[in-house]
Amino acid sequence: MMIAKVIVDVPAKQTDRTFDYKIPEALEEVIKPGMRVVVPFGPRTIQGFVVELSENSSFAELKEIVEPMDLAPVLNQELLKLGDWLTEQTLSYKISAFQVMLPAALKAKYKKKIRRLAPVESLPTKIQSLFQHDDMILWSEAAGYLSALQKEAAKGTVEVIYEVKERVKKKKLKYVSPLLDKEGLQQAKASLVATAEKQRDLIDHFLDKPEAIELRQIQSLLNISSQTIKSLVKKGILEEKDVEVYRDPFEDRVFAKTAPFPLTNEQENAIAPILATIEEELQKVFLLYGVTGSGKTEIYLQSIQKVLEKGKEAIVLVPEISLTPQMVKRFKGRFGDAVAVLHSGLSSGEKYDEWRRIERKEVKVVVGARSAIFAPFEHLGIIIIDEEHETSYKQEDNPRYHARDVAIERSLYHQCPVILGSATPTLETFARAQKGVYELLTLPKRMNNQSLPSVQIVDMREELRDGNRSMFSRTLIEGLKERLEKKQQIVLFLNKRGHSSFVMCRDCGYVVNCPNCDISLTYHRFNQQMKCHYCGYEAPVPQRCPECNSEHIRYFGTGTQKVEEELGKVLPEARVIRMDVDTTSRKGSHERLLTEFEEGKADILLGTQMIAKGLDFPNITLVGVLSADTMLHLPDFRSSEKTFQLLTQVSGRAGRHELPGEVIIQTYTPEHYSIELASEQNFDRFFEREMMVRKSHQYPPYYYIALITVSHENVAMVASITDKIAKFVQSKLSRESHVLGPVASPISRIKNRYRYQCLIKYKREPELNKTLKTVLEHYQQDIVSKGLQISIDVNPYILM
C-alpha cells in the first residue's frame, strides 16, 4: 500500500503537520511529492500538497486521495525543502510557505483542462479516443487515464491548462509553416500554373526560411492575400495553425540587441571574483558597493552571460518601483527572449504565463520583484539583488520572509554566488562585508567620471526667522522659477509615510526624543501626549521648546495634496503631476504618469518615495526635497538610515545626463549627520556614525530584534495578554536579551482592533523560535474562538 503525506490547505496550528492518505491503486504511479491533490478532510474535500511518499503509516484507518490536481509536481525537491526552511525561519504555517512560492493563478478558482500538443495519431492508443473530437478536454473527463497522460505531459505532448476566471484566455495567433521538405516544396513550385506568381513567392520564402511565420507578418512581407495562403494550404503544401502566444507585458516594445561593454579596470576588478565562483561552482555572497551610475548593472549582465554559457539560470531581483521598461530593456536587450519579467502590474494570468515559461525551461533569466526569488529554476547559477537595502524585499504578511535570506538559502543548495548591489547598503549587510562574511566589491566612481549633482541644504529655521512661513524656501522658489523659464523639469519630493507625527520646534529644529530609546516620541492628538513606541515612556507636549524657549513647538506633517495646492498659489503657470498612493492605485497609472512627465507634459513631478528611483530623464535638472525631517523622525531606529538612503537616491536623480543637476534639501535639522553626509554622498562616514548609535542603543546589526504584535477589539484584553507574553518571553531568555514593552503600537488601532507590541532585542538565543512557537500554541484557543491575533516578525523592517 502506498501512503502520501499531505499538508492540507487549512492554515491553522492544529493542521500544521502532515496527514496520511492512502493512494488509490489506479493513482500509484501518478502521485509524486510536490504535487497538489484533492483529499477528504472532515466533511469536506480540500486541497493539499504531497510532501512525501511512504509505504507505511502509523494510523490504521486511512482515507484515500480523491485525485491529483496537477500532472507534474508544482514544487520540486529543492522548493519543498525551502518550504520547510521558510516555515522554521518565519514561524509560519507550512501551507502558507508552499503557497507563497507559487503564482496566484494556481491558488485561485479555476477550470482545469488538458490539451493535446501533438497530433492525435502520435499519442498512445489508450488516450487517443479522449482527443477524438477536440484537442482540449476537461480534467474530469480524464479520470482513469491520468497515469498515461502524466507520461505524455512529461514528454510535452499534452499539458494542463488552468483557466483563471479573470482573463486567463490564451492569446493565439495564426502561423503558417511548410508541410513539405525542401525537395517537396521545389516539386510543388514546379507544378504550379504559370500565373500563380504569388504562390511561387510564398514557396520561395519557405525554401529560404522553413520556420513557421505569423500569418499577418508574411502577408505584409510578401504583399499577398490570405487567399493565396489558403490555396497552398488546400493543396497540402502549407499548414495554418493557431499558436499560443504568451501575454508579454512588454510585447509591443522591440528591444534592440546590445553587446557587452569592454569593462573598465574597476569593473574588471569587481567582476573577477564573481566569475571565478561561477566557474568553480562555489557558494558565496558578494556585496557590490557602488553609487548609481558606477556600472553595477553591466557587471550583473556580464556575470549572467557567464552563467548562461555554463548552461545555468539566473534570478535578478529589483525593487518593484524600479521595474520600469527602461530597466527591463537592459536585460531583454542583452538576453532577448530568454528573459521573463515578473512584477505586480501583471494580472495573475500573465504571471502564471511567465511562471510556465520558466517551468518549461523556455527562459533562463528572471527579472522580478520579491516573489521572483521562488522562480522554479533547477540549475541556478547566480542570484542578484539590486538595491539590496530596499525594504520591499521583506514580505509583510505571512510568511514574513526577506528575499535576501531566501536567496542565500537557495544559493547554498545550488552552490552559486549571490550578488547584493547598492550605493547605500543596509548596515547589516555592510557590517557583514566588513567582517568578511560577505566579500566586498567596490566601484568607486561613476562611469565617465560624471560628476555628482551639487547639493544645497536649506535651513528652514532661518526661513521662518526671516518671515517666510510657506513650505517652500526662497532658494527653492528661485530654482523652480528658473527651471520653468528654461523649460527644464523638476522633481519635488515629499516623504510622508506611516501615520504618526512628531513634535518639533520650528525655530530651532529640536525634536522630542525618548530618553531611553533614541527615537522620536509620537504625538497623540486626543490627549496631547507624546509617547515612545518601543518602551512606553510618555510625556505631555511642552508649551515651550526646551532648547530655545520658543513657542513654535508643535506636531509636524504635510501631505502631497496640500503641497499641490500651495504650488498652485505660488506658481500658477506650472504644470504639476502628482504621484502618490491616491493617484497611482489603478493598474498602469504609475507608468502612464511617468510617461506623461517624460514626454514633457508637465514641469513638476511631485510625489512620495515612489518617485525616488527609476527616474532617469535627461531634462530633470532640479530635485527638491521639501522636508527631509519627516522621515528622519519616524519612531523607528532605522529612520536615520532610511533618510540617508532616500536622500542619496533622490540626489542621484538629477543631472545624470548632459545638463548639470542641482538638489535642494529643505530641513529644520541641517546639522543632522544623515542629512549632512547624504548631501556629500558619503556612505562610509555615515556607516561609522550610525554604527556607533546602533551599538550604544543595542540595535541591529549589534543585536537582532523580533517584534510581537497582539491585536483585538477589547483593549484591556490586548494589554493584559501582551503583558503576559512579554513576561513569559523574558523568563525564557538569557540575561543579555531585553524585552521592551508591552506598549501600544505606533498605529494603535486598525479597523477597530487595538494593537499592542513588544520588541525583543537579543544577540544569541538558539531557543527563541521555540519559545515564540510556544506562545502561539498557548494562545491558539483564543486565536480561534475569540478572534485574537498574534503576529510575530523575526527581523522586522516595519515597527508600526
Q: Could you list the residues that contact ligand ADP (CB under 6 A)?
A: 261-264, 267, 290, 292-298, 447
Task: Decide if 629 contacts 669 (C-beta within 8 A).
Answer: yes
Residue 651 CB, nearest distance to ligand ADP (Å)?
A: 14
Residue closer to Zn ion, measured from CB, 247 or 531: 531
Cα 108 to chain centroid distance, Å, stands at 20
Which of ligand ADP, Zn ion, none has residue 294 at its interface (CB below 5 to 8 Å by kind)?
ligand ADP
Task: Decide if 620 contacts 552 (C-beta within 8 A).
Answer: no
Q: For residue 425, is the peptide bond before it cis, meaning its omega torsion is within 30 degrees of 0?
A: no
Residue 740 CB, nearest distance to Zn ion (Å)?
A: 7
DSSP per residue, 353-414:
HHHHHHHTT--SEEEESGGGGG---SSEEEEEESSTT-GGGB-SSSS--BHHHHHHHHHHHH
Residue closer to ligand ADP, measured from CB, 317 or 457: 317
Which of Zn ion, ligand ADP, none has residue 298 at its interface (CB below 5 to 8 Å by kind)?
ligand ADP
532 binds Zn ion (CB under 5 A): yes
Residue 553 CB, nearest distance to Zn ion (Å)?
A: 6
DSSP per residue, 45-91:
EEEEEEEEEES--S-SS-PBP-EES-SS-SS-HHHHHHHHHHHHHHT
Alpha-carbon gap, residue 47 to 6, rounded angstroms: 9
514 binds Zn ion (CB under 5 A): yes
Residue closer to ligand ADP, measured from CB, 288 or 705: 288
Which of Zn ion, ligand ADP, none has residue 550 at its interface (CB below 5 to 8 Å by kind)?
Zn ion
149 binds Zn ion (CB under 5 A): no
- Considering only 101, 130, 342, 517, the residue that binds Zn ion (CB under 5 A) is 517
Residue 383 CB, nearest distance to ligand ADP (Å)?
A: 17
Residue 426 CB, nearest distance to Zn ion (Å)?
A: 23
Residue closer to ligand ADP, measured from CB, 125 or 265: 265
**467-496 CB burial, b ≥16 within 10 A, e <16:** eeeebbbebbeebbeebbeeebbbbbbbbb
Which of ligand ADP, Zn ion, none has residue 358 at its interface (CB below 5 to 8 Å by kind)?
none
Residue 266 CB, nearest distance to ligand ADP (Å)?
A: 9
Residue 324 CB, nearest distance to ligand ADP (Å)?
A: 13
Residue 652 CB, nearest distance to ligand ADP (Å)?
A: 8
577 binds Zn ion (CB under 5 A): no
The label of the residue with cell 549571490 reads 418
434 binds Zn ion (CB under 5 A): no
- Considering only 2, 224, 548, 798, the residue that binds Zn ion (CB under 5 A) is 548
Strand blocks (E) in 424-467: 439-443, 454-459
Residue 45 has a CB neighbour count (10 Å cut-off) of 13
Which of ligand ADP, Zn ion, none has residue 598 at its interface (CB below 5 to 8 Å by kind)?
none
Task: Decide if 697 contacts 425 (C-beta within 8 A).
Answer: no
797 binds Zn ion (CB under 5 A): no
Which of ligand ADP, Zn ion, none has residue 399 at its interface (CB below 5 to 8 Å by kind)?
none
Task: Decide if 341 contacts 250 (C-beta within 8 A).
Answer: yes
Task: Decide if 411 contacts 417 (C-beta within 8 A).
Answer: yes
Alpha-carbon gap, residue 452 to 565, rounded angstroms: 32
Which of ligand ADP, Zn ion, none has residue 548 at its interface (CB below 5 to 8 Å by kind)?
Zn ion
340 binds Zn ion (CB under 5 A): no
Which of Zn ion, ligand ADP, none has residue 290 at its interface (CB below 5 to 8 Å by kind)?
ligand ADP
Cell of 450: 560624471
SS3 state at 22: strand
Residue 510 CB, nearest distance to Zn ion (Å)?
A: 4
Residue closer to ligand ADP, measured from CB, 387 or 690: 387
Task: Decide if 150 contacts 29 (C-beta within 8 A).
Answer: yes
- Considering only 19, 493, 510, 637, the residue that binds Zn ion (CB under 5 A) is 510
463 binds Zn ion (CB under 5 A): no
541 binds Zn ion (CB under 5 A): no
Alpha-carbon gap, residue 772 to 791, rounded angstroms: 10
634 binds Zn ion (CB under 5 A): no
DSSP per residue, 563-618:
HHHHHHHH-TT--EEEESTTTS-STTHHHHHHHHHHTTS-SEEEESGGGSSS---T
List alpha helices for 605-750, DSSP H: 629-632, 639-651, 673-679, 683-696, 715-732
Residue closer to Zn ion, measured from CB, 548 or 783: 548
Question: What are the CB-based long-range contacts (under 8 Å, 24+) for 426-431?
Answer: 426/388, 426/389, 426/641, 427/641, 427/687, 427/690, 427/691, 427/694, 427/700, 427/701, 428/700, 428/701, 429/287, 429/388, 429/389, 429/404, 430/287, 430/289, 430/687, 431/691, 431/701
Task: Decide if 602 contacts 575 (C-beta within 8 A).
Answer: yes
Residue closer to ligand ADP, measured from CB, 330 or 552: 330
- Considering only 315, 366, 403, 535, the residue that binds Zn ion (CB under 5 A) is 535
Residue 546 CB, nearest distance to Zn ion (Å)?
A: 8
Helix axes 197-208, 215-222, angle to 10 degrees: 120
Helix axes 768-778, 715-732, angle to 10 degrees: 150
Residue 453 CB, nearest distance to ligand ADP (Å)?
A: 15
Choices 155-163, 538-546, 625-633, 687-695; region in contact with Zn ion by CB under 5 A: 538-546
Listed residue (265, 246, 244, 294) closest to 444, CA to CA:
294
Q: Which amino acid appears at position 188 of this protein? A: A
Residue closer to ligand ADP, measured from CB, 294 or 791: 294
Residue closer to Zn ion, measured from CB, 51 or 517: 517
Residue closer to Zn ion, measured from CB, 465 or 786: 465
Listed residue (536, 516, 426) closest to 795, CA to CA:
426
550 binds Zn ion (CB under 5 A): yes
Residue 532 CB, nearest distance to Zn ion (Å)?
A: 3
Alpha-carbon gap, residue 711 to 201, rounded angstroms: 74
Which of Zn ion, ligand ADP, none has residue 296 at its interface (CB below 5 to 8 Å by kind)?
ligand ADP
Provide the sign of the torsion angle of the four alpha carbons 40, 45, 49, 50, taken in this order.
positive
Residue closer to ligand ADP, measured from CB, 110 or 255: 255
Which of Zn ion, ligand ADP, none has residue 454 at its interface (CB below 5 to 8 Å by kind)?
none
Residue closer to ligand ADP, measured from CB, 244 or 616: 616
Size of the site for Zn ion (CB under 5 A): 15
Residue 287 CB, nearest distance to ligand ADP (Å)?
A: 13
Residue closer to ligand ADP, measured from CB, 419 or 490: 419
Positions 381 through 410 that interact with Zn ion (CB under 5 A): none
Which of ligand ADP, Zn ion, none has residue 293 at its interface (CB below 5 to 8 Å by kind)?
ligand ADP
Length of the chain: 800
Task: Decide if 332 contacts 303 (C-beta within 8 A).
Answer: no
Cell of 407: 536567496
Residue closer to ligand ADP, measured from CB, 226 or 442: 442
534 binds Zn ion (CB under 5 A): yes
Residue 517 CB, nearest distance to Zn ion (Å)?
A: 3
